[in-house]
Amino acid sequence: MDGEPLVRWYWIGDHLAYLRGLALDHAVIALVPVLIGLLIAVPLGLACARFPRLYQPLSAVFNVVYALPSLAVFVVLIPYTGLATRATVMVPLTCYALAVLLPTTVDGLRSVPDSVRQAAIAMGYGPWRRLAAVELPASVPYLVSGLRVAAVSSISLAAVGALVGRGGLGYLFIDGFQRSFPTPIVAGIVLVAALALATDLLLVLARRLLAPWAVREKGAAR
């Protein structure tokens, strides 16, 4: 890359549609696993909150999975999910998201005071209505905190998928390195960071809308 400018702006201008397509593909690969992880984490977290003996084994399994190198897991899955498929990248990312979301879901459900549960029971709330109207809303700040960590982590890890043929913006890093052309690398870094920042801001906004009392309590504590 000697003598090559860090950014050739004309290249970015000529490849806007290409960059937009990669960014969209990256968002799907990275964020759909987080949503799937949330859908799995909520019932699992509920089971762990009701039956505490389940939590430690499940948490240990997902922590071990989270510790595995993502590239190694992608390569292991290739014979089963195929090369250059979204599934090869999205299955591990779903497991990584679960490793983050399960503890925050359990913590959120456990944070509901017993007095609040007893009051709901006294008002005639059944288990499902109590879950939907009391326990899950009270868990929103914890769930969103977990989602923020899981989403940003997933956006970062998704780029590694380019090494097995499906990585969204990760292609820019490989392309720039192979051609000794830094512009795609810089563009990829900026776009990954922008996608992570935009996702995080949307989740913060969602927390403000879904749990405004948590924002007020945080401000009062200061």
Count how many residues are written for the chain. Answer: 222
Residue 111 sits at φ, ψ, to 5 deg, of -75, -15
What does the pLDDT average to over 131-143?
83
Q: Distance between CA atoms of 206 and 186, rounded to whole angstroms? A: 30
Domain that holds residue 208: 9-217
Contact at 8 Å (CB) between 13 and 181?
Answer: no
Mean pLDDT to the nearest integer, 51-56: 89
Q: Return the amino acid letter for 18.
A: Y
Count CB atoms within 10 A of the CB of residue 123. 11
Tens of pLDDT, residues 88-97:
999 999 999 9
In a domain, 1, yes or no: no
CATH number at residue 196: 1.10.3720.10
Amino acid occupying residue 132:
A
- Is 222 among the domain residues? no
Region of 168 (left: φ > 0; alpha: ψ -120 to 50; beta: rest) is left
**Does residue 190 lie in a domain region?**
yes
**What is the rounded CA–CA span in Å between residue 29 and residue 23?**
10
Q: What is the pLDDT of residues 182-214, one digit of tens each?
A: 999 999 999 999 999 999 999 999 988 887 766
In a domain, 4, yes or no: no
The confidence band for 34, taking pLDDT boundaries of 50, 70 and 90, is very high
> Does 2 reside within a domain?
no
Higher pLDDT, 148 or 129: 148
In a domain, 165, yes or no: yes
Q: Is 168 part of a structural domain of the chain?
A: yes
CB 99 within 8 A of CB 66: yes
Buried b (16+ CB within 10 A) or exposed e, 167-181: bbbbbbbbbbeeeee
Kindly give, in sequence order, each residue whose CB lies less than 8 Å from that of residue 137, ignoring residues fewer than 6 positions away: 210, 211
- Nearest to residue 105, comparing CAs of 143, 132, 78? 143
The reported pLDDT for the residue numbered 94 is 95
Inside any domain, residue 106: yes
Q: Residue 15 — φ and ψ, nearest 5°?
A: -120, 30
Please count the structural domains in the chain.
1
